[in-house]
Structure 1
Amino acid sequence: MFREEPKSNGITVVIREVWAWNIESEFAIISSLIDKYPFISMDTEFPGVIYRSDPRKKKNRGSGSGSGDDLYRLLKSNVDELNLIQLGLTLSDASGNLPHLNNPNNQCYIWEFNFSDFDVDRDPHAADSVHLLTQQGIDFQRNKKEGVDSLTFAELIMSSGLLCNHSVSWVTFHSAYDFAYLIKILTRRPLPSSLLDFLAITRVSRAVGKSHQAGSDSLLTWHAFQKMVHLFFRNHLPHNHSGVIYGLHLYSY
């Protein structure tokens, strides 16, 4: 359940390993800490990528990045096909302090969730990625036997206070795939490929008119935006997205 890492400044960081048999108690601990430690850093481990971009499409593009559509299609193809292996969470306060759980031995804690969804003997994966993860100590057979089912994880994280909480700030690095896998787990379906997919996930229905008619689609877009703000931003307008126009702003990973 615990794995200690070398001491830094007299403090030992302990990785709390989360499995099927202790996930409820660990989420209970995390929930009790969010108000004091509202900065959440996330990282995931997954079995590589099996679909890659065509290098011929990168010619004459300067930075070498494809269009936003191309990048999203590539991400979606991989995430839809593959399964998550691990998800790590680090909780911190504004000063960078990690939770110590009233431990008198200068120990502080972070969390590592191990999932059972990926079967190395059966599921598609990139062999070099799985080899690297094996070298780094991930026991795929133990994950398959003792790991967390992603449905259980989704139910518990939704009620934990980590999501739909305006006081929480998420910290990630090149996180397109990290958030994509999280969305896949939470929605229990492939990533949305269109507005209609998004509407099905969020249960927004057309109020009037027909699809591909401008008036009807404009109202539907507004209702989808309202639902998104309610679900993901706790009814606070996401001002940091203001001025971002789809197709003109590329992301990279």
Structure 2
Amino acid sequence: LQQTLSRRSAMIPAGAFYHPQGQPPFAIAMTAPAASYSAAVPMQALPTAWYHATVPIMQGPPPMPRPFGVTVRSVWADNLGAVRLDMGYFAAHARCVAVKVHYPGVVVHGAGGQQDPGAEKRYAVVKANVDALKPLQVGLAVCTDDGRVAAWEFNLSDFDPAADPHAAQSLLHLQSRGLNCLEHRLRGIPMEELAMLLRFSGLLGNRPGVSWVTHTGAYHLAYLMKVINGGKPLAGDMDGFLGSVRRSLGEDVYDVATMAADCPDMPVGLEHIAGKLRLPPPLSTNPLAGAGSVLALEAFLKLKPQRFRDDVTRYRGVLQGLHTI
């Protein structure tokens, strides 16, 4: 019976409502995958009537607006396997995905003295840095079509501060916010494993109705493309890069910084934008990539209806750092 229930519960979406025979509907938290927002319930604690094979399953109503921040799950090599199930569920129901990447600074700078070097030269600087450096963290936040949000912070193991190029001040800043390079080396995930997880999760590809979001997106999307492609160099020119973004993420890619720049009262900086929009802070051990992805996601979901009446077509694919300064 226990094995049968386990197999059956694996097909139940998180937050589903059970209707035991002759009883009112009950919300169930014992779901597969068990995401960070729901607690597992021991099978012994479930009413016997819930095991009945003819019990119908109904989707619950969309959740109420979140009074507290989204919990960010920190992902290391030792819990990566459990995250695969979570991501598969959320990928299948995704409506919006946000990404933020932490990386060890900028070591290649553009030529000074030019007011605007142009998009192609800006891309050349981005490419030079991303090709030379190794990402430290990838934050992903996913909102489903019924309003659920899950967030993960993938801690990568490839970067070695003793051997790999980096900007010292940038690394010190990240360390002051809680990033531990030694822990990343010992417990982190190789970039190739994260690439495999993303490819098989179902998140990637040109999926109608799924939007991708970032903030000051040139570097974040460039590092994401590097991860997805197993560390290979970026495309040689900007058109090639944007083509790879469209193939991996689809057409609906948005930059919250570009959108906020068209709102006269909106400040600069993701955390300041979140404060202006009164977004609840993410529940995270440290304010790093995972928390940033949550803020980018929720800022987009709030700006889109409130400031743009759900019409953000003109911002599609316009990235700060490439198309705008």
Q: TM-score, normalised by structure 2?
A: 0.53
Indicate the RMSD between aligned Cα atoms, in angstroms. 3.4
Measure, in 2, the Cα distance between the counterparts of 1:112 and 1:9.
Answer: 20
Structure 1 letter corresponding to 2:227: I
The structural deviation recorded for 1:94 is 5.5
Aligned match of 1:40 = 97
CA distance in structure 2 between the aligned counterparts of 1:112 and 1:51, rounded to whole angstroms: 27
Q: 1:158 to 1:84 in 2, by over 3 A?
A: same
- Structure 2 Cα separation of the partners of residues 181 and 130 of structure 1: 16
- CA distance in 1: counterparts of 2:220 and 2:186, whole angstroms: 24
Correspondence 1:82 to 2:154: no
Tell me if the contact between 2:136 and 2:155 (Cα under 8 Å) persists in the aligned partners.
Answer: yes
**Higher RCO (Cα < 8 Å, 6 or more apart):** 1
Give, in whole Å, the separation in 2 of the partners of 1:72 and 1:32.
Answer: 35
Report what 2:323 is aligned to.
251
Deviation at 1:3, TM superposition (A): 9.9
Secondary structure of 1:178's aligned partner: helix
Deviates more, 1:37-46 or 1:142-151: 37-46
Deviation, 1:181, is: 0.8
Alpha-carbon contact 2:97-2:212 (below 8 Å) kept:
yes
3-state DSSP of counterpart to 2:162: coil
Confirm whether residue 57 of structure 1 aligns to residue 139 of structure 2.
Answer: no
Change (3 A) 1:24 1:123: same
Q: 1:120 corresponds to which residue?
A: 161
Per-residue Cα deviation, 1:55-85 (whole angstroms, up to 9, x for no partner): 2233xxxxxx321121011001100000000
Partner Cα separation in structure 1 for residue 201 and residue 70 of structure 2: 23
The 5-angstrom pairing of residues 120-199 of structure 1 reads 120-166=161-207, 167-188=209-230, 189-193=232-236
Stretches of structure 2 that go unaligned for 5 or more consecutive residues are: 1-34, 38-64, 254-312
Q: Does the C-alpha gap of structure 1 residues 132 and 192 become closer, same or farther in structure 2, counting only changes over 3 Å?
A: same
Counterpart-to-counterpart distance in 2, 1:251 and 1:173:
13
Change over 3 Å in CA distance of 1:55–1:27 after alignment to 2: same
- What is the count of residue pairs matched by the alignment? 196
Q: How far off is 1:21 after superposition? A: 1.8
Matched, 1:21 2:72: no
| 1:66 aligned onto 2:123 | no
1:13 counterpart SS class: coil
Deviation of 1:110 (Å): 1.6
Quote the offset at 1:10 in angstroms.
4.5
CA distance in 1, matches of 2:229, 2:138: 17
Which of 74, 91, 116 lines up with 2:142 in the alignment?
91
Which stretches of structure 1, 4 residues or more, deviate above 4 A after TM superposition?
231-234
The aligned amino acid for 1:164 is: G
**Given the superposition, is the C-alpha separation of residues 252 and 119 from structure 1 closer, same or farther in structure 2, using an over 3 Å criterion?**
farther
